[in-house]
Structure 1
Amino acid sequence: MDNSNLLLVTANVGTLFEDPLILMQQWIHEFMLTVKQLHPQFIALHLQEVGGKTYEQSSHHVKEFVKSLCEAYEMQEFSIVRVYLDENFTSQEQFTALGNLYFGHNTIPNSRLWNFKNCSWETTQGKNFHFGNIENVPTKDKSKFPLDFFPECKWSRKGFMRTRWDINGTTLDFVNMHLFHDASNLTALIEFPSVYSQRRRKALIHTLQRFDMDKDNEIVPYFLFGDFNFRSDFAGVTKALTINLTEHRLATTNVNNLKKQYRDENGKNILTIGKKEFHHIDHQNKFRGEWLKQYDRDLEICKGILFEYDITFSPSYPYEEKPELPTRYLTTRCPSWCDRVLMSAQMNEITTNRNTSYNLIGDNICMGDHKPVYLNIQIRSNQGTRIFV
């Protein structure tokens, strides 16, 4: 076998568990359509916000979600399964709500999984499921970001989880990551990089440096995919949208209700910005064009370190969570490409550009507030363990 066909998917599934009877089945159906269409030999599915806002109330839905994925008809020929779900919600210092799911097809002749504790390879026959407290599971590397990285030094479910695989003689890491969101549009409007963008960059660089300094588990080519919460340069976007408009502040006694409105010469309101409000008069069409990509700048700091295929799809967040409004953006945030599939620069040496696709899943179906993003890519076989220094 010269190449292995990989399907890498990242999905923030938090809102699925708020309406599991409808959204969960739609999500799984669209995911399986993608599997059926692309015929991958190895699937890496990275989930964020597993269980939603109240994990203790959603844990049974999480188990049902995983069961439905694994037992779907399209997955019957995937004989190798590894599931890692961080469900330790009682530990603020450790809980990330991340889920890493991996499926190897029968056509893959050889695969192994790295033990980060013993620094050795393990066989991957059969199906293993790791739920609950997975801190001591040695075939994954998981961590929350340091407490001082978090806004106001208050814990939230942000961190990373990685695994290392040998697929047909080629070694690579799969890293799931969830970075910090923008708490207030008004704060993000002040400057770029915003305080939120700076926190995201700090956590991302911290993690890459951590991998680089891990001498026991030397750095190998890696895919890094998750909900990075990357947001557009909000100050730049707002400036572009408000040319020839006048700004008006709406007086309020509650600072959390402060709003800015931008009006045209006839007094017509074109754009409204509040702490959790972002509403343009042409909201559903305005942010689907090419012009917005120039303001996608959160990754600039990693130029030359991380690589990404060209984005040709609409922003993956924030969508309405109503099944009857599958393509409609919420008027809470500026639509952005939060969900991404990135790779180390060295990954180019072990991948091919043959039949590569980078896109959304469920473009016209309600998938929750985030649309899953996938990369379908082929890796060369028998490339060994390439260690980079």
Structure 2
Amino acid sequence: MSLIFLFVFLQLGEIQNEWLQELYKTIHCYKPQFIALHFQEVGGKDYMVNMGHAENFFCIESSEEMKDYDRVCIYVDNQFQAEDSFTALGSMYFIHKTLKNIYQYDFNDMAHCFLVTHSNLSLLQFKWSRKGFMRTRWIIHNQGLDLVNVHLFHDASNLIACNSSPSIYSANRKNALRYVINRISDSCYTPLPFFLFGDFNFRLDTLSLVQHLSTSADVQTVKKDCSNEVEKIICEEKDNDHQVLLHIEEKLFTYLHQAVFREDNGRALLKYDKEAAAFQDVIREEDITFPPSYPYSEEYTKPTQYMNTRCPAWCDRILMSHTAQEFTHKVSQCLLAFDLPFKIHSNVH
């Protein structure tokens, strides 16, 4: 018997009703027996103020649209007072009334009941707040699997990201993801097929991309007066009245021909998407057939345009172990609510 799973992940700051309606439409279309919602940034950046508001989202379990899902498991790390361990992760699982043969694993009692484990990345030298992973283990129709909610480190500075290939941020994410995979594959528990999905913050190889985009441009590096530190990188077209082609600062990334990130779903840029390739020994993913998932504009009138803060990238991913692929059949991925007027940071599987 084949089952339909729906995997959704998003930044849970302030969820708008329009997004919920798109979620309900997706559920109605696919009619999944099992739904996994993985949230990052529960409460948003101002989580101390917004945590209560964000948790109101979990009331969707009692909505009319979800009435056929008679079992719901919710796990939220809302302990923001514990800064050294706070992950701001949340996971929500809906089980359809027709799905009977399902159990969840208790990692403490090593038996099948309801519990969850989670961890921040505090054992790594580059610990940052609101990052980590949350893991649940399931047996569904006698098939065991782990579902892991992941949020890895972002690029703090576009300029630093341009310094090397791969960037220091990419190296940090590589170490962090290897740590997560090792944790869920260690000998403490029987290794099972797993799905990792969330905000990996994977970025394009910025240095290589910038070199490619500025091949026919004059490149000017501007440094601060008081130091030798680079303040901005400006690439001007050699003709066309020296129009600025590319302008990069710490938190600014503007490219004149932004359509390249959307045309053919950004396929021409996939060769610069290299971070997942380092884990081909243990994980795989389906072909990417959607445009870069980050950072979409928050302006109401520009829902499909990217903000000029970061280089667009496929930050949000669904990865799976090779063993998980063996029992996975037809897979599709897309951006959920692509045309809604707020920043989209989510995928659907």
Distance in 1 (CA, whole Å) between partners of 2:47 and 2:226 is 32
Alignment partner of 1:121 is 2:112: yes
Shift of residue 149, structure 1, vs aligned partner: 3.1
Whether the 8 Å CA contact 1:149–1:203 is kept in 2: the answer is: no
1:306 to 272, 277, 283: 283
Q: Quote the residue 2:246 is aligned against.
A: 271
Query: Counterpart amino acid of 2:19?
Result: W
2:158 to 176, 185, 199: 185
Q: Quote the residue 2:260 is aligned against.
A: 286
Distance in 2 (CA, whole Å) between partners of 1:299 and 1:145 is 19
Q: Quote the residue 1:37 is aligned against.
A: 29
1:74 to 65, 73, 82: 65
- Structure 1 residue ranges, 4+ long, deviating more than 3 angstroms after superposition: 250-257
Whether the 8 Å CA contact 2:338–2:344 is kept in 1: the answer is: no
Whether the 8 Å CA contact 1:362–1:371 is kept in 2: the answer is: no
Distance in 1 (CA, whole Å) between partners of 2:291 and 2:135 is 27
Alignment partner of 1:241 is 2:213: yes
Q: Which structure is richer in relative contact order (CA contacts within 8 A, separation 6 or more)?
A: 1
Alignment partner of 1:221 is 2:193: yes
Q: Quote the residue 1:48 is aligned against.
A: 40
Distance in 1 (CA, whole Å) between partners of 2:131 and 2:226 is 30
Alignment partner of 1:324 is 2:293: no
Aligned length, in residue pairs: 343
Q: Give percent identity, aligned residues only.
A: 37
Describe the superposition over 1:174-217 as per-residue Cα deviations: whole angstroms up to 9, x where unpaired: 000100000111111111111000000001101111222242x2
2:146 to 155, 170, 173: 173
Matches within 5 A, 1:297-376: 297-353=274-330, 356-366=331-341, 368-375=342-349
Whether the 8 Å CA contact 1:13–1:370 is kept in 2: the answer is: no
Whether the 8 Å CA contact 1:246–1:263 is kept in 2: the answer is: yes
Whether the 8 Å CA contact 1:86–1:97 is kept in 2: the answer is: yes
Alignment partner of 1:144 is 2:116: no
Name stretches of at least 5 consecutive residues in structure 2 with no aligned partner: none
Distance in 1 (CA, whole Å) between partners of 2:103 and 2:203 is 36
Distance in 2 (CA, whole Å) between partners of 1:292 and 1:361 is 21
Query: Counterpart amino acid of 1:141?
Result: T
Whether the 8 Å CA contact 1:47–1:226 is kept in 2: the answer is: yes
Shift of residue 254, structure 1, vs aligned partner: 7.1
Shift of residue 257, structure 1, vs aligned partner: 8.1
Q: Quote the residue 2:231 is aligned against.
A: 258
Whether the 8 Å CA contact 2:152–2:200 is kept in 1: the answer is: yes
Shift of residue 74, structure 1, vs aligned partner: 2.1
Instruction: Give the TM-score normalised by the residue count of structure 2.
Output: 0.94
Whether the 8 Å CA contact 1:257–1:275 is kept in 2: the answer is: no
Describe the superposition over 1:266-301 as per-residue Cα deviations: whole angstroms up to 9, x where unpaired: 322111011111101122x12123111110001121
Q: Quote the residue 1:106 is aligned against.
A: 97
Alignment partner of 1:92 is 2:66: no
Whether the 8 Å CA contact 1:110–1:167 is kept in 2: the answer is: yes
Distance in 2 (CA, whole Å) between partners of 1:193 and 1:295 is 10
Describe the superposition over 1:8-59 as per-residue Cα deviations: whole angstroms up to 9, x where unpaired: 1111233x2xxxxxx5212211111111111100001100001011222112
Shift of residue 342, structure 1, vs aligned partner: 0.7
Q: Quote the residue 2:204 is aligned against.
A: 232
Q: Quote the residue 1:386 is aligned against.
A: none
Whether the 8 Å CA contact 2:204–2:313 is kept in 1: the answer is: yes
Q: Quote the residue 1:130 is aligned against.
A: none
Name stretches of at least 5 consecutive residues in structure 1 with no aligned partner: 17-22, 125-138, 376-389
Q: 1:257 to 1:76 in 2, by over 3 A?
A: farther
Q: Quote the residue 1:201 is aligned against.
A: 174
What is the RMSD computed on CA atoms of the aligned residues? 1.6
Alignment partner of 1:238: what SS?
helix
Whether the 8 Å CA contact 2:85–2:122 is kept in 1: the answer is: no
